[in-house]
Structure 1
């Protein structure tokens, strides 16, 4: 089977890696360097802690296991894979009660959770007086661009090829089945299947393939401090982060997320706003995120910021990724719409797409177990997007 994967971000790289490992003939198509889009604008989160029980959490649990496998194959130091764990903290007793209820639902779905009364024992530099939190030992972090590049190199070792260019249109044959992808320069890449792993541009790529999906950009900022000695042990975030992720509001939302990196810098997020593809710097958002981080970790008041970057998360209206064959165009398979969870969900997505292409389970991914992520959930019986 000839497969063209459109997108060389973390999700596309994972799809190429698993498909090539399964023996499929894979070509990866991207208009730019590996990981140059949303992948390069993220923190590298591999999280179970922020997901409600349901389709996304099941994919996250699969991905967490596959990240460990990928780390063994690629080398954990190569991709900076670190099983640091997550700490979600509440600022009020009411918020703590809601957090404990949320964690109990997750525990019922197989997530390891641990209630923490004295959060200072896990994070000595955290603000005093917080009523408590929940520790998630399975949360981890990876350097996303290094990981995408390593996955793509591994795919090439399994026989995959890369092609630079922009997907312009699908080439279809009898019965409307896809037979290839025409690039902007006129090159036709033969394909029995095309995987739409174009991230924030997945909606546009889907349209060009004749299978549009509603993927919208959601802008986010991340702040980076000067390098420091190790000060923060876990990924630490406030309990309202989960509500902000699940919100459909168009306006600005911020919630405190703080974590260290191997290089010693501290990453501070997270903001979300729907402003199209507006790349403008917004100093007010930077100031808000910095103030929230300083309230959570007071020592940050004396630390310099060295930069702030922003990017676009591929947002889907129901906050779930779109993964699976499109019923309107035989041969088109979507793997996009992961919003801010694409890094963590990439290995599971790659394994699931490969299982769908093979028509059988692959690396623990069973297509029958992930039907809640299929693109037909957005289609009426007549095949028209809702």
Structure 2
């Protein structure tokens, strides 16, 4: 029975990953309390572009998670309202020279063996997909499985779709975990009091490491800052998610230094979103003119017509980075009753449904939908 102070499972974090965990847990028959020290989607989710990508992932466990999530997002799109702006528009990765095209061919060949659909687009056909692209590009690859949602609305509607089995408590920061005599989870402590439950899910995003430390375990989640430029509303100038080939390398890099690569996409509402940058500077939100300059230059190199378009605003967000670029998903054997669902870096929106399904199966003793070994939360401790 769900009461204000008890439930079957407590999810900490009301971003899209936490919302997906709550949704699939509730669908499995569990009662859920979702706690967040801020509003729904107040962290990484609210600062995201809403990308649901397979195109930027090399064969391996993250791609398997992304392919499962792609299927689940298609199912959710039938359930959630149109306001989530689910758009299966596909992605287009472009190369400026023949060396870049050769690298894209090799990358796509490996992905296709793993179940990704990738279609090579020769230079003279690029403008069929994107009429406003710059001339003289060497070609690209089209990924029809890539899609996009409005991330904050997707999180909110997932929580609403979970129904009466989910209680949402916002503006309540978790200050400690309650444990039993054998160290097992019994609930959490907040400034408003205690919330009881035999399971706690750490879906705290960039603060996942901090929450893990409250439980007495180490999870090396670090913030990786990124900026997004938002243009004035436009007629549909950019039809797909379009990015330069070097974006894939930037995603896979562990460097703390500033990296930028051109990523441009339109939205159903009209504005064009421009990224992407990555740097590890802690939680510093200071505006970086150098980053904005690089983003604007990269975008206009791909779409020259954007040079005459006004940027209405810019914002920063923090991706929850783990050193091996894989999220932590599943039970933590060091603390019975504690599960993690964090560390997705910039892919959390895309990977949220599969993460939520895995967590729900763990909670109910069901068969995981894929091999969860690479996502073990204690893998970093084992490596020390």
TM-score (norm 2): 0.96
C-alpha distance in structure 1 between counterparts of 2:20 and 2:51, whole Å: 15
| Conservation of the 8 A alpha-carbon contact between 1:323 and 1:374 | yes
Q: Distance in 1 between matches of 2:265 and 2:35?
A: 33
Q: Residues 1-22 of structure 1: CA distance to partner in whole angstroms, max 9, x if unpaired? A: 7100000000000000000110
2:147 counterpart of 1:140:
yes
Query: CA separation in 2, counterparts of 1:377 and 1:215?
Result: 13
Match status 1:111 vs 2:113: no
| CA RMSD, Structure 1 to Structure 2 (Å) | 1.1
Which residue matches 1:305?
A: 311
Deviation for aligned residue 1:366:
2.4
Give, in whole Å, the separation in 1 of the partners of 2:335 and 2:181: 11
Secondary structure at the aligned position of 2:354 is classed as helix
Partner of 2:93: 88
Alignment of 1:252-267 (within 5 A): 252-267=258-273
Out of 69, 76, 85, the position equivalent to 1:70 is: 76
| SS of residue matched to 1:15 | helix
Deviations along 1:22-71, one digit per CA (max 9) or x if unpaired, are 00111001011100111110100000000011110001011011101111
Note the alpha carbon deviations across 1:155-185, whole angstroms, 9 max, x for none.
Answer: 2x14111123111111111311111111134
* Aligned pair partner of 1:10 in 16, 21, 30: 16
What is the correspondence of 1:22-41 to structure 2 with a 5 Å cutoff? 22-41=28-47
Q: 2:376 aligns with which of 370, 374, 377?
A: 374
* Secondary structure of residue in 1 paired with 2:87: coil
Bigger mean CA deviation after superposition, 202-211 or 15-24: 202-211
1:212 CA displacement: 2.5
1:335 aligns with 2:341: yes
Gap runs ≥5 in structure 2: 1-6
CA contact (8 A) 2:88 2:148 kept: yes
Is 1:84–1:141's contact at 8 Å kept on the other side of the alignment? Answer: yes
Q: Residue 221 of structure 2 corresponds to which residue in structure 1? A: 215
How does 1:311-322 map onto structure 2 within 5 Å? 311-322=317-328
Query: For residues 48-67 of structure 1, what are the structure 2 equivalents within 5 Å?
Result: 48-67=54-73
Contact 2:14 2:39 in 1 (8 A): yes
Given that 1:21 and 1:158 are in contact with CA atoms closer than 8 Å, whether structure 2 keeps it comes out as: no
The 2-side partners of 1:61 and 1:174 are apart by 41
Aligned to 1:124: 131
For 1:190 and 1:281, locate their aligned partners in 2 and report how far apart those are by CA, in whole Å: 41
Q: What TM-score do you get using the length of structure 1 for normalisation?
A: 0.95
Structure 2 CA distance for aligned equivalents of residues 110 and 242 of structure 1:
18
1:209 deviates by: 2.0
CA distance in structure 2 between the partners assigned to 1:336 and 1:82 by the alignment: 25
Unpaired runs of 5+ residues, structure 1, are none
2:185 is equivalent to residue 178 of structure 1: yes
1:259-306 CA distance string (max 9 Å, x none): 000111000000000000001001111011001100100000111110
**1:228-287 deviations in whole A, cap 9, x for unaligned?**
111111000000000000111111000000000011100000000000000100111101
- Contact 1:211-1:332 within 8 A present in 2 as well: no
2:103 matched to 1:98? yes
Q: Tell me the SS of whatever aligns to 2:182.
A: helix
Q: Is the 8 A contact 2:330 2:372 kept in 1?
A: no
Q: Is the 8 A contact 1:221 1:286 kept in 2?
A: yes
Task: Confirm or deny: 8 A CA contact 1:17 1:154 kept in the other structure.
Answer: yes
